[in-house]
């Protein structure tokens, strides 16, 4: 379990199985959101990341440069994980332009 502290709350334990990542791969940006699933099946956002795609990475909603898109995804994910203080084992991915 990881501990997290938001807005001066007491640190609480987060079970890895309650952490989920959403990754949105768009033409202009890659966005990552990490959330904790609560006991009553709500989600609490605990980390976010956003990175600009370089021109040429995506074309008309499709991936044009796989290594560059992967690199951009890694940066957005790293920012979200750093903010959340946890790493997700579950991911939902959306790719659109």
- Is the per-residue pLDDT at 84 higher than 90? yes
Over residues 62-87, the mean pLDDT reads: 95
Over residues 48-68, the mean pLDDT reads: 94
Q: In CATH, what is the architecture of 2-95?
A: 2-Layer Sandwich (3.30)
- Written as one string, the DSSP assignment of 8-70 is TPPPEEE-GGGEEEEEEE-SSEEEEEEEEE-TTS-EEEEEEEEEEPPTTSEETTEES-HHHHH
- pLDDT attached to residue 2: 54
- Is the per-residue pLDDT at 12 higher than 70? no
Instruction: Please state the pTM of the whole predicted model.
Output: 0.81
Domain residue ranges of the chain, discontinuous segments joined by +: 2-95
Over residues 68-79, the mean pLDDT reads: 97
């Amino acid at each position: 379990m990881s501990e997290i502290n938001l807005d001066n709350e007491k640190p609480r334990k987060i079970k890895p199985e309650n952490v989920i990542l959403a990754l949105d791969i768009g033409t202009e940006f890659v966005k990552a959101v990490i959330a904790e699933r609560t006991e009553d099946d709500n989600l609490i956002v605990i980390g976010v990341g956003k990175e600009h795609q370089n021109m040429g990475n995506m074309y008309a909603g499709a991936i044009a440069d796989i290594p560059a898109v992967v690199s951009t995804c890694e940066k957005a994910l790293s920012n979200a994980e750093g903010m959340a203080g946890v790493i997700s084992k579950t991911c939902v991915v959306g790719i659109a332009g």
